[in-house]
Amino acid sequence: MTSTELTATDAPVRIPGPTTPYQGDIARYWDGEARPVNLRLGDVDGLYHHHYGIGEVDRTALGDPEDSESEKKLIAELHRLESAQADCLLGHLGDIGSDDTLVDAGCGRGGSMVMAHQRFGCKVEGVTLSAKQAEFANRRAQELRIQDHVRARVCNMLATPFETGQAAASWNNESSMYVDLQDLFAEHSRVLKVGGRYVTITGCWNPRYGQPSKWVSQINAHFECNIHSRREYLRAMADNRLVPQAVVDLTRDTLPYWELRATSSLVTGIEEAFINSYKDGSFQYLLIAADRV
């Protein structure tokens, strides 16, 4: 399946959309996604994320649990922690100028793209399998009047329309568990300029545990994804000219988010699997920043 779009010169460009039955399932999954835990958090300030949070909970911001505004405050706090996660990722992209182009592989509803543009003033190109998500992200960019800098397209991140060496930096924010890592890093390596920076924040299973735990299997089933091991990330990067510059274990930093979320009315049922697997050491929340050499 492909979608067609017109360039400025009106020459049609074929953009590969879902190319496997699995990718078709993932496109449908995100087209149909409307969980309050994502939409109500996004409504706080118009940044819509599909990733999790990091950092300490600000108990003063939560106030008295008996207070009629307590649910609203809890939602705002969860959202603050999710935006802190995106800030952490963007902080590892290096020196980005306003003339640079960044690539968000698996951009969701575009929250990280907006934050990247607001931080660097640069262009940000995102791809997602979901037409609904791309429309949502582009609508938000229009509302913010940044549509000439921030754009989402329906496209497979393993075969993007970007030119070789076009991007100063690229990232996957909780989107690499849907693809083969060798194929993924080959494409980032192609699109990045030499000296460019790649960053991922991801959940991965811990080779020290042995094999994926039952909690990891539960997370895979819940999201129809395929969580990779830490070892696979490092090996596939090494095979594709991506040399780790920083590997940051964010597991301890994400637990407060999960423990707070588990107390909210917006629980989805997956909280226990994340909390237990982070605590038993079978699963890790990692940031890896790598140089394209």
Please pick, from the candidates 130, 200, 229, 240, the single residue that binds ligand SAM as defined by CB under 6 A. Answer: 130
CB closer to Mg ion out of 120 and 278: 278
**Residue 14 burial (C-beta neighbours within 10 Å; 0-12, 13-18, 19+):** exposed
Please pick, from the candidates 77, 100, 125, 174, the single residue that binds ligand SAM as defined by CB under 6 A. Answer: 174
Half-sphere exposure of 159 (CA within 13 A, CB side): 11
144 and 114 in contact (C-beta within 8 Å)? yes
Residues 41-80 that bind ligand SAM (CB under 6 A): 49-51
**Residue 48 burial (C-beta neighbours within 10 Å; 0-12, 13-18, 19+):** buried
Choose the stretch contacting ligand GPP; rule: CB under 6 A; options: 124-132, 139-147, 221-229, 235-243. Answer: 221-229
Q: Report strand pairing: 283-292 vs 242-249.
A: antiparallel
Residues 251-280 that bind ligand SAM (CB under 6 A): none
Site string for Mg ion, 20-59 (x = CB under 5 A): ------------------x---------------------
Q: Which amino acid is at 227?
A: I
- In whole angstroms, the minimum distance from the beta carbon of 270 to ligand GPP comes to 6
Choose the stretch contacting ligand GPP; rule: CB under 6 A; options: 10-18, 35-43, 89-97, 111-119. Answer: 35-43
Supply 288's token pair.
């890896």
CB closer to Mg ion out of 38 and 277: 38
Measure Cα distances from 235 to 1, 157, 170, 212 in Å: 31, 20, 19, 18
Query: With binding defined as CB under 6 A, does residue 228 bind ligand GPP?
Result: no
Query: Quick one: what does residue 127 bind among Mg ion, ligand SAM, ligand GPP, none, with the CB cut-off 5 to 8 Å set by partner type?
Result: ligand SAM
Q: Which amino acid is at 291?
A: D
Query: With binding defined as CB under 6 A, does residue 129 bind ligand GPP?
Result: no
Please pick, from the candidates 127, 146, 181, 219, the single residue that binds ligand SAM as defined by CB under 6 A. Answer: 127
Question: Coil, helix or strand for 93?
Answer: coil
Q: Which residue has the tokens 């980032």?
A: 188
Please pick, from the candidates 54, 81, 96, 107, the single residue that binds ligand SAM as defined by CB under 6 A. Answer: 107
154 and 130 in contact (C-beta within 8 Å)? yes
Q: Determine the size of the site formed for Mg ion (CB under 5 A).
A: 1
169 and 90 in contact (C-beta within 8 Å)? no
Euclidean distance between the first and the last CA atom of the chain, given in angstroms as a whole number: 34
β partners of residue 101? 123
Contact positions vs Mg ion (CB under 5 A) = 38
Contact positions vs ligand GPP (CB under 6 A) = 35, 37-38, 50-51, 174, 177, 203, 219, 223, 225, 227, 268, 270
Contact positions vs ligand SAM (CB under 6 A) = 23, 26, 30, 49-51, 106-108, 111-112, 127-130, 133, 156-158, 173-175, 178-179
